[in-house]
Amino acid sequence: MLLIPAIDLKDGACVRLRQGRMEDDTVFSDNPVEMAGKWVAAGGRRLHLVDLNGAFAGEPVNGEVIRAIAKAYPDVPIQVGGGIRDEATIQAYLDAGVTWCIIGTQAVKDPDFVARACKAFPGHVMVGLDAKDGMVAVEGWAEVSDMPAVDLAKKFEDAGVSAIVYTDISRDGMLEGPATGLYRSMLARLPGLELIASGGVSGMEDVEALAEMDVFGIIIGKAIYEGKLDVQTAIEMYQIESEI
């Protein structure tokens, strides 16, 4: 299992939101490149970057910071989400050194785009399912659709996506524990899925619970920024040595 430190970018700074609300943010660093280095030094073998402004704008906004992080740590695979709506954006990120692009809103609006992207960029595309009460949210989590997240994930079962990043919005940034029930449902419906769980991890007990569920990876955010979870200890205890 991979433990993946998150770096959420808003106006060029590293922040954490509560339940995805842009107006309810805490700034943890005005130097995201330096923050990335902290997590790499702690043993992180992958980074999760989110362009929060881009998710609302529908196009990259913090692309310069993302490129700087990829340049500073070329040996660390990076997955990026937020504002990725076309193939040109994917190509630009891959050219900058990003390994995976996460398609969120566009996966809901145009599921066929995911298949096209997987064909154009094999092995470099993930789908981000951000859900509230099990229903997919789009446009930077500002709008909740009538599409169950599990049903949408099923559409991409044979598309060639590298993984599904599933975020429970109601738990994100709240330190109230992960949505284990939702993850179990997803894994049961899609047994061959590489699922990356996101949202709610508050400490080592949550990491242990998710490890027992056989998820592929866990995105860890607020817990490591607020010192609730020691990322180096968690990585040493739970991160398996596997090809990523």
The catalytic residues are 8, 130
Q: Which residues contact 21 (CB under 8 A, 6 or more apart)?
A: none
d(CA 80, CA 59): 12
Task: Look up residue 232 and give its two tokens.
Answer: 């180096």
Greatest Cα pair distance, the chain, in angstroms, is: 42
Q: Dihedral angle at the C-alpha atoms of 128, 84, 35, 228, nearest 10 degrees? A: -20
d(CA 91, CA 183): 31
Q: Where are the alpha helices (DSSP H) in 97-172?
A: 105-109, 111-120, 149-155
d(CA 115, CA 35): 34
142, 164 Cβ separation under 8 angstroms: no
14, 22 Cβ separation under 8 angstroms: no
